[in-house]
Amino acid sequence: MIQFPKNFLWGAAASAPQTEGAAAVDGKSPSTWDKWFELEPSRFYDGVGPSDTSNTYYQYREDVANMKAMNLNSYRTSIAWTRLLPDGKTLNQTAVRFYRAYFQEMLDQGIEPIINLFHFDMPWWLMEKGGWEARESVDHFAFYAKTAFEQFGDLVKKWATFNEPLVHIECGYYGDAHWPQVHDFKRAIQVGYHTLLAHAKAVAEFRKIALPEGEISIILNLSPVYPKSQEAADREAAEWADLLYIRSFLDCVVYGQFPEKLTSLFKEHHLSPEYEATDAEIFRENTVDFIGCNYYQPLRIQAPLPQRAASGPFEPRQLFRGYDWPEKKSILIAAGKSIQKGFTILRCV
């Protein structure tokens, strides 16, 4: 019989913007979600905005009691940057008291808090300066990370910098599901670069503090990439998709460098992000202790359409396109009113 180790973590995952509520309470400043809801409430399902969540800010003890009743021994959530540092500089002591009480309640009930720093909730004051397109966002995030480690490092041992960075890059700068709703591949690449640099600088701050038994990670949505066929064109398309969607993140955080084939492609098409000479060392010296892996489904890829491969500004669709596998199986899971994403820890050795 297969048995899980005694220290195996069984848990669930959510985030500050999904659960806390109290979006404009006790000094918290607006995030992009708060501002977007103010500007376009019709874009939100049933007109429900960030203030109307499960109200963890007020009911965290009840939430933790439910975790214990479910026999969880771990729980991943995030800190709201806009609550802890509303203007990016000034520490909100009310927020510190809330998070310390929340995390301590988990520990008192035998539940290990696994804390993530960024779950798509960019502060509005920073978005007005360009968000992740602006180089200064990197240092702002590093300061935020340092502050969180200092304030909660005695309670939290397992940390993550970003949840699924691909999502805020792709959905915000190559689609319209996240703010700022633009479609520009070059800007998306710059956003991705600054996001990963911010991650690396946060890891550097974590190393300086040297928390006892502390570990630092990033949470990636990883999918195995399968070509439609073994034809050369489909296999090449799958390789490009893997480089762009998976290895651009994974190689950076585990090996401290980007795939050379991908950086060469960006250079060839004048898409390379702006960078500084010292960045390479920052990436190289600040790799993760473990990887948080959110897994949903494989990524199935086929060769691009011929007419797209040679027309318009250079975009991913000139390298590959999705493939809807006719023999796929769908699994429907219903769990009350909502379903939270799973969290798996993969050790980096």
Q: Write the CA distances from 64 to 7, 16, 17, 67, 155, integer angstroms.
A: 20, 15, 17, 5, 15
- The CATH topology of domain 11-224+281-297+338-347 is TIM Barrel (3.20.20)
31 or 51: whose pLDDT is higher? 31
> How confident is the prediction for the chain on average, in pLDDT?
92
pLDDT given for residue 308 in this prediction: 59
Tens-digit pLDDT profile for residues 57-80: 999 999 999 999 999 999 999 999
Tens-digit pLDDT profile for residues 288-337: 999 999 999 999 999 999 875 556 789 999 999 999 999 887 665 443 33
For the chain, give every domain's residue range: 11-224+281-297+338-347
pLDDT given for residue 331 in this prediction: 62
pLDDT at residue 276 tops 70: yes
Return the axis-axis angle of helices 185-209 and 248-255, rounded to nearest 10°.
Answer: 20
pTM above the 0.85 mark?
Answer: yes
Alpha helical stretches, state H, the chain:
16-19, 32-39, 56-69, 81-84, 93-108, 124-127, 136-152, 165-173, 185-209, 232-241, 248-255, 260-268, 279-285, 306-309
pLDDT grade for 94, boundaries at 50, 70 and 90: very high
pLDDT grade for 6, boundaries at 50, 70 and 90: confident
Q: What is the mean pLDDT of residues 133-154?
A: 98
Q: What is the mean pLDDT of residues 215-222?
A: 98
* Measured distance CA(66)–CA(248) in Å, rounded: 38
Alpha helical stretches, state H, 134-222:
136-152, 165-173, 185-209
pLDDT at residue 2 tops 90: no
- With a pLDDT cut of 90, the percent of the chain lying above it is 86
Tokens of 77: 């959530």
